[in-house]
């Protein structure tokens, strides 16, 4: 069974997702042709997103390495990026069984009304598998690995429920959709806390600037396309490249900013029929519910203008922080492609305010750099084991370096769960069980209360 799951996962997202969504579509009653088209569009979306993120990392990798050499930067943790983290996650026993285990837990939580989300973003289950894999290697226990992964899964489902209302009211055409990924939801505590503080600073409300507002106020300078060009040219100058290389880097960064929103449209087109059919089916099976939400990939919304603007601005700032922060040993390179995924759950809290979102992202990523540095020895241990068994080049760490990835290790949930389990064992496990249970019970009471709330008719219905 483990070898079967490992083989399927090894096909990669672009192949695995169309197969899974086609099968899922057939199972929930969608016609084969429509299910196939939905799955293929999702696969094409992953291919397009992979091409664009590869363009980002390949274009920035050389210049940024030159910057580190020119300015004598000594950072000993090599950025492996999310592909390495996913490979580590799915090439372990935890990863091989994480999808059926978590789906079963998801169904149980739906039955007892402890969640309103059914997470069908199967590819991103690697986040849960990775925390499980790292705990597995660090504690030398498969059971602690599964425990950590399951706790992370339940906490993330509850967080997805708690943030769904703001998420759906902020983003257009995503009714019935939530994003149950620990990487995205892990930034919500930062966002809620700092958004509350910023709202209480006198005069700060005057800095209410969204991406569209930037376009109106700054004209061409406020366009994500133009900002991409500026940042690319700036990094090219710092790397002391020649004029053609500088201009080429600027155009490539502009292309990334312009193409990502277009590619995310493919995800929406492919996932919408699956989401609607799943929502209808689950709603029929689970009566007296306030509404079932379908857990989808955050790739659906990373094309939002504010996400693009803030992500691009934070790339050079994060690089600067990595250099000047005392105690940090990690220079993000490959992980820069994951910068766009920081903000899907943050924007509904800041209402798309560029200044607030930038500040929150800055704080979260500053803490995240230290998280990556702290977890690097354990990431390295897991990656070396997987490389020794599989020979997968994605997890090969260069000699003299440790491995790390901002995509995974900067998540608050992952860091807290790892240290509670690894450092405190049964005491930490008890804390996690109590905390997770309290969250689930609170969420259940909220769901039951909402299911019995009176439905207020719309004006159109009242006029009939």
Hey, where are the domains in the chain? Answer: 79-220+235-243+287-450
Does position 463 have pLDDT exceeding 60, yes or no?
Answer: no
CB contact at 8 A, 51 and 14: no
How far from each other are the two terminal CA atoms of the chain, in whole angstroms? Answer: 58
Which carries the bigger pLDDT value, residue 337 or residue 87? 87
Q: How far apart are CA 308 and CA 354, in angstroms?
A: 10
Q: Please enumerate in sequence order all residues whose Cβ is within 8 A of that of 237, keeping only pairs 6 or more positions apart, or say none.
A: 246
What is residue 175's predicted lDDT score, i.e. its pLDDT? 83
Least confident of 278-282, 288-292, 358-362, 420-424: 288-292
pLDDT average, residue stretch 291-310: 83
What is residue 3's predicted lDDT score, i.e. its pLDDT? 65
Percent of the chain beyond pLDDT 90?
Answer: 27
For the ranges 155-159, 241-245, 265-269, the one whose mean pLDDT is highest: 155-159
Q: Please enumerate in sequence order all residues whose Cβ is within 8 A of that of 119, keeping only pairs 6 or more positions apart, or say none.
A: 102, 103, 106, 125, 153, 157, 160, 180, 295
pLDDT tens per residue across span 413-462: 889 999 999 999 999 999 999 999 999 999 999 988 887 765 555 444 44
CB contact at 8 A, 386 and 88: yes
- The tokens for 51 are 């091409």
Does position 464 have pLDDT exceeding 60, yes or no?
Answer: no
What is residue 98's predicted lDDT score, i.e. its pLDDT? 83
Distance of CA 353 to the CA centre of its chain: 20
pLDDT tens per residue across span 24-66: 788 878 888 888 988 888 788 778 866 776 676 677 767 867 8
Quickly state the pLDDT bin for 334 (edges 50, 70, 90): low
Of 410, 440, 419, nearest to 135 (Cα)? Answer: 419
What is residue 210's predicted lDDT score, i.e. its pLDDT? 67
Pairing mode of beta strands 117-119, 77-79: unpaired
Maximum pairwise Cα distance, the chain: 74
Task: Tell me how crowded residue 219 is: count the other CB atoms within 10 A of its CB.
Answer: 10
CB contact at 8 A, 357 and 379: no
CA atoms within 13 A on the CB side of 375: 34
Distance of CA 83 to the CA centre of its chain: 13
Q: How far apart are CA 201 and CA 357, in angstroms?
A: 15
Which carries the bigger pLDDT value, residue 304 or residue 439? 439
Q: How far apart are CA 360 and CA 355, in angstroms?
A: 9
Quickly state the pLDDT bin for 217 (edges 50, 70, 90): low
Does position 313 have pLDDT exceeding 90, yes or no?
Answer: no
- DSSP β-bridge partners for residue 178: 295
Of 55, 52, 67, 56, nearest to 235 (Cα)? Answer: 67
Mean pLDDT of all residues belonging to the chain: 82
Least confident of 18-27, 108-117, 283-292: 283-292
CB contact at 8 A, 233 and 207: no
Least confident of 23-27, 86-90, 279-283, 427-431: 279-283
pLDDT tens per residue across span 372-428: 999 999 999 988 888 887 776 667 777 778 888 887 667 888 899 999 999 999 999
pLDDT tens per residue across span 242-251: 899 899 998 9
pLDDT average, residue stretch 98-121: 89
pLDDT average, residue stretch 92-97: 78
Task: Tell me how crowded residue 33 is: count the other CB atoms within 10 A of its CB.
Answer: 9
Q: HEC string of the chain?
A: CHHHHHHHHCCCHHHHHHHHHHHHHHHCCCCHHHHHHHHHHHHHHHHHHHHHHHHHHHHHHHHHHHHHHHCCCCCCEEECHHHHHHHHHHCCHHHHHHHHHHHHHHHHHHHCCCCCEEECCHHHHHHHHHHHHHHHHHHCCHHHHHHHHHHHHHHHHHHHHHHHHHHHHHCCCCCCEECCCHHHHCCHHHHHHHHHHHHCCCCHHHHCCCHHHHHHHHHHHHCHHHHHHHHHHHHHHHCCCCHHHHHHHHHHHHHHHHHHHHHHHHHHHHHHHHHHHHHHHHHHHCCCCCCCEEECCHHHCCCCHHHHHHHHHHHHHHHHHHHHCCCCCECCCHHHHHHHHHCCCCHHHHCCCHHHHHHHHHHHHHHHHHHHHHHHHHHHHHHHHHHHHHCCHHHCCCCCCEEECHHHHCCHHHHHHHHHHHHHCHHHHHHHHHHHHHHHHHHHHHHHHHHCCCCCCCHHHHCC
Percent of the chain beyond pLDDT 70?
Answer: 84
CB contact at 8 A, 271 and 173: no
Does position 205 have pLDDT exceeding 80, yes or no?
Answer: no
């Amino acid at each position: 069974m483990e070898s079967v799951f490992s083989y399927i996962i090894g096909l990669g997202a672009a192949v695995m997702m169309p197969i899974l969504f086609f099968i899922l579509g057939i199972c929930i009653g969608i016609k084969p042709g429509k299910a196939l088209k939905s799955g293929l569009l999702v696969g094409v979306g992953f291919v397009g997103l992979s091409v664009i993120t590869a363009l980002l990392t390949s274009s920035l990798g050389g210049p940024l390495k030159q910057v580190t050499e020119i300015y004598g930067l000594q950072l000993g943790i090599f950025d492996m990026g999310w592909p390495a983290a996913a490979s580590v996650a799915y090439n372990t026993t935890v990863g091989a069984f994480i999808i059926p285990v978590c789906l079963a837990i998801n169904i149980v939580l739906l039955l007892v009304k402890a969640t309103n989300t059914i997470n069908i973003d199967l590819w991103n289950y690697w986040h849960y598998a990775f925390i499980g894999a790292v705990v597995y290697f660090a504690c030398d226990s498969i059971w602690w690995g599964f425990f950590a992964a399951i706790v992370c899964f339940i906490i993330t489902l509850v967080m997805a429920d708690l943030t769904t209302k703001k998420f759906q009211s902020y983003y257009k055409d995503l009714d019935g959709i939530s994003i149950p990924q620990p990487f995205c939801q892990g930034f919500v505590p930062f966002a809620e806390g700092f958004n509350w503080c910023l709202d209480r600073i006198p005069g700060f409300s005057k800095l209410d600037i969204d991406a569209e507002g930037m376009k109106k106020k700054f004209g061409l300078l406020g366009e994500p396309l133009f900002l991409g060009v500026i940042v690319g040219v700036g990094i090219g100058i710092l790397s002391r490249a020649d004029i053609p290389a500088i201009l080429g880097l600027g155009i490539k960064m502009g292309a990334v900013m312009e193409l990502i929103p277009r590619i995310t449209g493919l995800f929406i087109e492919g996932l919408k029929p699956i989401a609607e059919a799943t929502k209808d089916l689950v709603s029929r099976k689970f009566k007296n519910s306030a509404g079932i939400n379908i857990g989808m990939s955050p790739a659906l919304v990373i094309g939002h203008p504010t996400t693009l603007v803030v992500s691009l601005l934070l790339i050079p700032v994060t690089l600067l922080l990595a250099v000047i922060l005392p105690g940090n040993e990690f220079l993000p390179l490959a992980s820069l492609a994951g910068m766009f995924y920081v903000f899907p759950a943050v924007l509904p809290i800041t209402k798309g305010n560029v200044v607030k979102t930038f500040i929150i992202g800055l704080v979260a990523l500053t803490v995240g750099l230290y998280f990556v540095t702290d977890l690097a020895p354990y990431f390295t241990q897991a990656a070396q084991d997987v490389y020794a068994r599989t020979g997968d080049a994605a997890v090969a760490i260069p000699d003299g370096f440790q491995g790390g990835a901002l995509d995974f290790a900067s998540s608050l949930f992952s860091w807290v769960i790892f240290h509670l389990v690894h450092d405190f064992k049964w005491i930490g496990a008890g804390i996690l069980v109590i905390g997770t249970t309290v969250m689930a019970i609170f969420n259940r009471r909220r769901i039951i209360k909402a299911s019995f709330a009176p439905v207020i008719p719309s004006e159109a219905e009242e006029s009939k």
